[in-house]
Amino acid sequence: MASNLLLVLAICTIVLPSIALAAEYIVGDTNGWTIDFNYQAWTNDKVFHVGDRLVFQYTPPNHNVFKVNGSSFKDCIIPSSNGDALTTGNDVVTLATPGKKWYICGVAKHCAEHGQKLVIDVIEEGPAPAPSAAHEVVSSSIRVFIAVMVAVAAIMMQWNMH
């Protein structure tokens, strides 16, 4: 029985941290989604992975969120259909695919004159060989090592009980 528990722990040691790796980002942190904030600077120290989430926080109807393409982003072209906008004030966007993603505010001239626009580059999750991912590779090796040690302990306990 005790060894079964340890085996479950060993599995959790491997599986749970992988799930927890999906990050959630409050866009602009405590500033939220607003005008006259440098979202480009906000992204500088962040790496966005597939599965991560963006949360746009604001007081509706002061702002909204449109996902647009690169050219609409550059020129702040607001889509004509308001139905395409996110408007709850707590808009959660799951980053489902890799590549560049562009978001703008469609209210007044917030995008064109107040910089309320966000562009991010989403990278694929997995064993990325990029140097910036090196620490993640190391930490997952440590997780596997811990899991193996727990499993070995479980097997030894089983022997002792026989």
Ligand X SMILES: *[C@@H]1O[C@H](CO)[C@@H](O)[C@H](O)[C@H]1NC(C)=O
CA separation, residue 27 to residues 14, 80, 138 (Å)? 30, 24, 29
CA separation, residue 130 to residues 101, 127, 134, 137 (Å)? 21, 9, 7, 10
Please report whether residue 81 would count as binding ligand X according to CB under 6 A. Answer: no
Q: Kindly tell me which of 23 and 108 has the beta carbon lying closer to Cu ion.
A: 108
> How many residues in total does the chain contain?
162
69's contact among Cu ion, ligand X, none, with CB below 5 to 8 A by partner kind, is ligand X
Binding residue for ligand X, selected from 4, 18, 69, 94, defined by CB under 6 A: 69
Q: Kindly tell me which of 84 and 136 has the beta carbon lying closer to ligand X.
A: 84
In angstroms, rounded to a whole number, what is the distance separating the alpha carbons of residues 113 and 25? Answer: 25
- Among 21-29, 67-75, 106-114, 152-160, which window interacts with ligand X (CB under 6 A)? 67-75
Residues that bind ligand X (CB under 6 A): 69, 71-72, 79
